[in-house]
Amino acid sequence: MSSHPRPVVLITGGAKRVGAAIARLLHAEGYDLAIHYRSSALAAEHLKRELEATRPDSVLLWQGELGALETLPQLVETVLSRYGRLDGLVNNASGFYPTPFGEVTPAHWDELFASNAKGPFFLAQAAAPALKASRGAILNIVDLYAKHPLPRYPVYSMAKATLAMLTKVLALELGPEVRCNGIAPGAILWPEDGKPYAAQQKLIDATALKRVGEPADIARAALFLLRDAPFVSGQILPVDGGRGLTA
């Protein structure tokens, strides 16, 4: 039994955007964190300093590629060496870019499935013994487009559909000790490439609440599913303002 006094959650892609919002809320609610990032080193260091200003030595950073599957057990071991426990895994990291049909390459397929499906599977497999020991939980950040494919994004949509099925598979395989659920965000944040997103207003108009959401909306749902839903497993919660009603 670990003597570490606080629960510990590992968040992939946790340095920016939705991942950082989840990290901030969990930290404020008493969790210590392991934050994985790929290329956002400055953002990760800034977030670590911000959070540790309120609770020293409460954040571990790990840089790596989720597609480098051989490193994922080492990531889990590093968390356990630091904290002695792991109570939650948030598979948030996600590649996202268009792959129009007819132009898809094997490299596109491999990259998008690595972050959105393959990495989460093998990271969950590596983390499973520790999560069973803590009777912890896994949370997968899925997407509305796992269910309703996004035009020009076939590989991304298929990868997220795999992650949605993985949510159900892990709930069955790891129960009763470990719960696994997912969140399917709607319009929360637009891509960071600076290009106008032609479908923005169309998406907003098709949403029952007629507005975009905020990263905090996903973070609150994440806290609920990780901590406050002990009899919920294998479910994917839409947090989309009602977008899924007309998708």
Each as own residue / partner, the long-range contacts of residues 192-196 (CB below 8 Å, 24 or more positions apart, any chain) are 192/17
Query: Is 156 assigned a catalytic role?
Result: yes
Whole-number Å distance between alpha carbons of 234 and 11? 19
Rg (CA), the chain: 17
- Tell me which residue has tokens 């606080």: 6
Query: Which of 167, 242, 179 has the alpha carbon at shortest distance from 208?
Result: 242
Catalytic residue among 31, 83, 153, 156: 156
Strands (E), the chain: 8-11, 32-37, 59-63, 88-91, 137-141, 179-185, 236-239
User: Under 8 Å CB-to-CB from 127, ≥6 apart: which residues?
Assistant: 10, 76, 86, 89, 138
Residues forming the active site = 156
